[in-house]
Amino acid sequence: MKTKMIKLIICSFILSLAIQVNANAQSNSLTTIIKQHFNETVQNVKSTDDAEQKRVHLENSFSDILSAIDRVEKSSSLDGEDAEQLASLKASVSDKLNQLNGIDGYDEIQDEDLDDFTDYSQQDMEQANRNITISLTTALLIVIILLLL
């Protein structure tokens, strides 16, 4: 009985270490996935000359990221640090969407400036150097939701 208990404790400890390592690797993966998602948007925006299509691509991308974050916030119990990091990401993306549409005190991005705004948004996401270190469960939820949208 005592041997089984010791084995159970050791296995639990090893499993918890494996999950922590996996969560750290997953956080880097999450940042990469969000960047890849927006890079695809940049390619779509730059591949069309129609300003309305450019606007639609940008709005859909920002909305998809915001929807994924909202779903994660509602469907999982986040610890304080995860919630803060997601809130920061959400605020940044929401700010870009507001700039695009000219709401919340911003002037609407003019059609001829959409390519520049796209580059600016991409640079902001690339250079923000946000190290999103959320839990593995939260990261997986965001990835799955972004893939489904």
Per residue in 3-30, pLDDT (tens digit) is 665 654 664 445 444 444 444 444 445 5
For the entire predicted model, the pTM comes to 0.68
Amino acid identity, residue 145? I
Token couple for 123: 């640079």
For the segment 84-93, the average pLDDT, to the nearest whole number, is 83
Provide the pLDDT for residue 30: 57
Provide the pLDDT for residue 109: 95
Q: Could you identify the residue written with the tokens 């705004």?
A: 117
Provide the pLDDT for residue 71: 78
Q: Write the pLDDT tens digit of every residue in 73-87.
A: 776 666 777 677 778
* pLDDT of 127 strictly over 70: no
Question: Nearest to residue 30, comparing CAs of 116, 146, 143?
Answer: 143
Query: Under 8 Å CB-to-CB from 144, ≥6 apart: which residues?
Result: none
Higher pLDDT, 130 or 86: 86
Q: Write the pLDDT tens digit of every residue in 30-61.
A: 567 778 888 999 999 999 999 999 999 999 99
Provide the pLDDT for residue 17: 44
